[in-house]
Amino acid sequence: NAGVTQTPKFQVLKTGQSMTLQCAQDMNHEYMSWYRQDPGMGLRLIHYSVGAGITDQGEVPNGYNVSRSTTEDFPLRLLSAAPSQTSVYFCASTPGAAYNSPLHFGNGTRLTVT
């Protein structure tokens, strides 16, 4: 198993550009989520999904869209990048409520918006 795979690892965008951060897991996990990590602020939840076709907002959803068309994939879209979105983005997954298992994290995408 590859676990949780995030691409790309690094990305530089200009203000106003759009892009999609990819996240895929091969563990058949029901729950997936996106976090951003900024210095001194820990991880903040952007969006999460409890299954294919179901998504909801987390703590800091503005400026981001998500979709979950398959169990495996949970892409994060930046609609119009802003310097405030410069951050490290982490995708995570977990099996679901019946299992009470740890979150599995990808290695992150470091995004810089100039």
- Chain contacts with another protein (rule: CB under 8 A): 31, 33, 35, 40-45, 48, 50, 58-59, 90, 92, 94, 96-97, 100-108
**In the complex, minimum distance from the CB of residue 19 to another protein, in angstroms, rounded to a whole number:** 20
**In the complex, minimum distance from the CB of residue 1 to another protein, in angstroms, rounded to a whole number:** 15
Q: If you write DSSP's letter for every residue of 72-96 in order, what string do you get?
A: SB--EEESS--GGG-EEEEEEEE--
Cα distance between residue 68 and residue 73, in whole Å: 6
Of 2 and 41, which CB lies nearer to another protein in the complex structure?
41
**In the complex, minimum distance from the CB of residue 96 to another protein, in angstroms, rounded to a whole number:** 8
Of 25 and 94, which CB lies nearer to another protein in the complex structure?
94
∠ CA(47), CA(53), CA(80), 5° rounding? Answer: 45
Of 27 and 104, which CB lies nearer to another protein in the complex structure?
104
Of 13 and 92, which CB lies nearer to another protein in the complex structure?
92
49 near 68, Cβ under 8 Å? yes
**In the complex, minimum distance from the CB of residue 113 to another protein, in angstroms, rounded to a whole number:** 19
Q: How far apart are the first and last CA of the chain?
A: 36
